[in-house]
């Protein structure tokens, strides 16, 4: 009976498959290429042919300016005052005055920073300014009343801000070990404490976190094929998730930007140096995945945090073409420094000796490039995450 | 577009042209519906293209694509299956004799049973009895152990045996008799 049944099954499946309607497959590959392109699209700056700079901006600032639009091709650069930028774009400026550093906020008030070294970047969180300079990161309350300073073992590092803008992390490369280190700090200077330190493989990128959960991005699907089964990334690729356990985190979720929604969840033993046995992988829209994240994190908000990160990978973007042959357009693209508003309202480019900055204003119905006259002693704009 | 990118895309188009019909057939057996099989294949090819730069020069392009197809069906499909039920095909084969009619009814019953199977069991059956893969290959594609492949196949076949134990059972007569009683 068994062989008969198997034979019948073979015949039935072959017969059903052979009853396929004629299918040309025309356009299938191109549709796949286009679909993959949509997935890959991320905010980035690129140079396009014909002297045009192509700016891709997030959906929040979706603007389409067709090639050859007179507003950008021919019009002379518009001037924007510091006051206009402050009121229209909520722009704040880092300034150096009388040998000290401070922030000129949107009200035009001067907030002193405790930074001893020239700031390379200043980011605004919910309650503070985070000032990055050589081997040091300093946190100053928005009113300047409290500060905290942290020394770092390297000259150069990158700063990442959590999605709720309540915390930040610095990331640097350990050349001897070919590893990366993340140090995670509270955004409130009054909560200053020793940072949580993570020693991780280079392929992990910190995307967001809270007290219990760390969310990273990495390539997963090329290893798992999208399977919803346990995998052993930490064991096989030496990810270093045991350092997250040691730092007190309940769980780590890694999301794949190439396949938004696919995640691997590591349930940690906080406070120990124990590596997770394996990671549970699957799609967020599968039954049970959110529960796995919630249970591993012990945090009802954890699944939402992971979903937000996955959604950010799928963010729609719009294209804005900017004439880069004009003086302001060239300054925007070719300058020494370039700053981009995380909310997509503006981009600024300038070099050290420039008296005016190039401002791309994306806040209105059209994209406008103008010369921005920064306030006296201005060093750079504050990048606000709040 | 760079020359390398263009050539890469052309290779991908050639691969799709050569393999899309087979992928559609497997997708149909997995989903039981041609329209949704097309969606599944399109999603699979999109994911394959995302990895094309890495896999195009290897011998495992087809294995990779199969793995994506089966695993996408197992996960992504779960969400859709709640709102979209496969449509039954109209069997237009001629009813030339009673034997043929009985055999046809049995095969219809078998197909209905296969469509009702849990996704993993169904995938194991399709890989084993349509694609003629070994249990080790099936385990590799589905990312499960060979023991699980065997147990899933065994469970699926046991269900089939129960359902198709006799021609009457295949025709659903026993159930009707029980219901009538």
The tens digit of pLDDT for each residue in A188-220 reads 999 888 899 999 998 899 999 999 999 999 988
Mean pLDDT of A93-121: 92
pLDDT digits (tens, 9 = 90+) for B113-168: 888 887 888 899 999 999 999 988 888 787 677 778 888 888 888 888 877 765 44
Judged by a CB distance cut-off of 8 A, whether residue A355 touches chain B is no
Chain B partners of A19 at a C-beta cutoff of 8 Å? 89
Chain B partners of A9 at a C-beta cutoff of 8 Å? 110, 114, 125, 129, 160
Query: Minimum mean pLDDT among A182-186, A214-218, B17-21: which range?
Result: B17-21
Supply the DSSP symbol for B160: H
Mean pLDDT of B53-77: 75
Mean pLDDT of A283-299: 91
* ipTM for this model: 0.77
Highest mean pLDDT among A31-35, A281-285, B62-66, B81-85: A281-285
**Residue A333: pLDDT over 50:** yes
**Residue (of A226, A14, A241) closest to B141 by Cα position:** A226
Whether the Cβ atoms of residue A225 and residue A209 lie closer than 8 Å to each other: no
Contact flag B142-A19 (C-beta cutoff 8 Å): no
Cα–Cα distance measured from residue A262 to residue A283, given in angstroms and rounded to the nearest whole number: 4
Per the listing, tokens 């050639």 go with B14
Please name the residue of chain A whose CA is at the shortest distance from the CA of residue B103.
Answer: A8
Residue A105: which pLDDT band, with cuts at 50, 70 and 90?
Answer: very high
At residue A196, the pLDDT reads 94
Which of A41, A227, A256 to mutate against chain B (most B CBs within 10 Å)? A227
Cα–Cα distance measured from residue A222 to residue A1, given in angstroms and rounded to the nearest whole number: 41
At residue A101, the pLDDT reads 95
**Sign of the alpha-carbon torsion through A297, A252, A344, A219:** negative
Q: Which of A14, A30, A224 is nearest residue B143 as measured by Cβ atoms?
A: A224
Mean pLDDT of A149-173: 92
Name the average pLDDT for chain B. 73
At residue A104, the pLDDT reads 95
- Residue A38 neighbours by CB distance under 10 Å: 11
Phi-psi region of A261 (alpha: psi -120 to 50; beta: other; left: phi over 0): left
At residue B5, the pLDDT reads 67
| A378-A384-A386 Cα angle (round to 5) | 150
Contact flag A10-B130 (C-beta cutoff 8 Å): yes
Contact flag A29-B48 (C-beta cutoff 8 Å): no
At residue B103, the pLDDT reads 67
Judged by a CB distance cut-off of 8 A, whether residue B157 touches chain A is yes
Contact flag A226-B72 (C-beta cutoff 8 Å): yes
Supply the DSSP symbol for A189: G
Mean pLDDT of A37-48: 40
**Residue A60: pLDDT over 60:** no
At residue A47, the pLDDT reads 28
Counting residues of chain A whose pLDDT is more than 70, the rounded percentage is 83
At residue A55, the pLDDT reads 52
3-state secondary structure of A134: coil
At residue B115, the pLDDT reads 83
**Residue A277: pLDDT over 80:** yes
Contact flag A28-B42 (C-beta cutoff 8 Å): yes
**Residue B41: pLDDT over 80:** yes
The helix or strand, by DSSP H or E, that contains position A323, with its residue range, turns out to be strand A317-323
**Residue (of A232, A154, A237, A152) closest to A201 by Cα position:** A237
pLDDT digits (tens, 9 = 90+) for A240-267: 999 999 999 999 999 998 888 999 999 9
Judged by a CB distance cut-off of 8 A, whether residue A22 touches chain B is no
Q: How many CB pairs under 8 A join A and B?
A: 141
**Residue A293: pLDDT over 90:** yes
Mean pLDDT of A64-90: 60
Highest mean pLDDT among B13-17, B62-66, B110-114, B168-172: B13-17
**Residue A304: pLDDT over 50:** yes
Please name the residue of chain A whose CA is at the shortest distance from the CA of residue B35.
Answer: A21
Cα–Cα distance measured from residue B108 to residue B121, given in angstroms and rounded to the nearest whole number: 18
Per the listing, tokens 């200043």 go with A122
- The model carries a pTM of 0.58
């Amino acid at each position: 009976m068994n062989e008969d049944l198997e034979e019948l099954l073979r015949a039935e499946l072959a017969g059903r498959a052979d009853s396929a309607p004629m299918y040309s497959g025309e356009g299938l590959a191109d549709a796949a290429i286009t679909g993959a392109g949509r997935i890959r699209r991320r905010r980035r700056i690129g140079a396009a042919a014909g002297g045009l700079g192509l700016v891709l901006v997030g959906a929040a600032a979706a603007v389409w300016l067709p090639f050859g639009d007179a507003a950008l091709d021919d019009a002379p650069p518009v001037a924007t005052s510091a006051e206009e930028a402050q009121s229209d774009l909520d722009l704040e400026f880092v300034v150096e005055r009388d040998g000290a550093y401070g922030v000129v906020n949107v009200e035009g008030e001067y907030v002193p920073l405790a930074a001893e070294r020239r700031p390379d970047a200043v980011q605004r969180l919910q309650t503070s300014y985070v000032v990055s300079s050589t081997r040091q990161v300093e946190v100053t309350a928005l009113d300047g009343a409290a500060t905290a300073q942290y020394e770092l073992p390297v000259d150069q590092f990158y700063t990442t801000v959590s999605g709720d803008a309540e915390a930040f992390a610095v990331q640097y490369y350990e050349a001897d070990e070919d590893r990366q280190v993340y140090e995670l700090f509270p955004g409130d200077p009054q909560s200053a404490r020793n940072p949580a330190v993570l020693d991780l493989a280079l392929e992990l990128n910190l995307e967001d976190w809270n007290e219990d959960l760390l969310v990273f991005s990495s390539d997963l699907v090329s290893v798992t094929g999208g399977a919803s089964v346990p995998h052993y990334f930490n064991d096989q690729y030496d990810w270093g998730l045991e350092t997250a356990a040691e730092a007190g985190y309940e769980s780590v979720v890694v999301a794949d930007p190439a396949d938004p929604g696919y995640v691997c969840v590591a349930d940690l033993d906080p406070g120990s140096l124990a590596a997770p046995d394996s990671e549970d992988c699957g799609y967020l829209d599968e039954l049970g995945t959110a529960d796995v994240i919630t249970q591993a994190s012990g945090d009802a908000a954890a699944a939402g945090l992971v979903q937000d990160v996955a959604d950010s990978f799928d963010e729609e973007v719009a294209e804005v073409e900017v004439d880069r042959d004009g003086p302001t357009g060239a300054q925007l693209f070719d300058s020494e420094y370039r700053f981009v508003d995380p909310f997509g309202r503006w981009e600024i480019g300038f070099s050290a000796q420039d008296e005016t900055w190039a401002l791309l204003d994306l806040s209105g119905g059209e994209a406008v490039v103008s010369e921005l006259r920064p306030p006296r002693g201005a060093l750079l704009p504050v990048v606000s995450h709040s | 577009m760079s020359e390398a990118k263009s050539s890469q895309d052309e290779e991908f188009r050639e691969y799709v042209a050569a393999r899309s019909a087979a992928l559609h057939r497997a997708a149909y057996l997995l989903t039981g519906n041609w329209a949704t099989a097309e969606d599944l294949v399109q999603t699979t090819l999109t994911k394959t293209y995302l990895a094309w730069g890495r896999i195009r020069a290897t011998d495992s392009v087809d294995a990779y694509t199969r793995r994506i197809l089966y695993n996408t069906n197992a996960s992504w499909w779960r969400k859709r299956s709640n709102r979209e039920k496969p449509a039954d095909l109209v069997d237009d084969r001629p009813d030339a004799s009673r034997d043929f009619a009985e055999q046809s009814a049995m095969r219809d019953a078998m197909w209905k049973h296969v469509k009702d199977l849990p996704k993993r069991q169904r995938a194991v059956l399709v890989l084993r009895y349509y694609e003629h893969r070994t249990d080790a290959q099936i385990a590799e594609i589905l990312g499960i152990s060979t023991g699980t492949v065997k147990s899933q196949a065994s469970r699926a076949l046991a269900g089939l045996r129960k359902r198709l134990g006799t021609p009457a059972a295949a025709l659903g007569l026993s159930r009707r008799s029980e219901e009538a009683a």
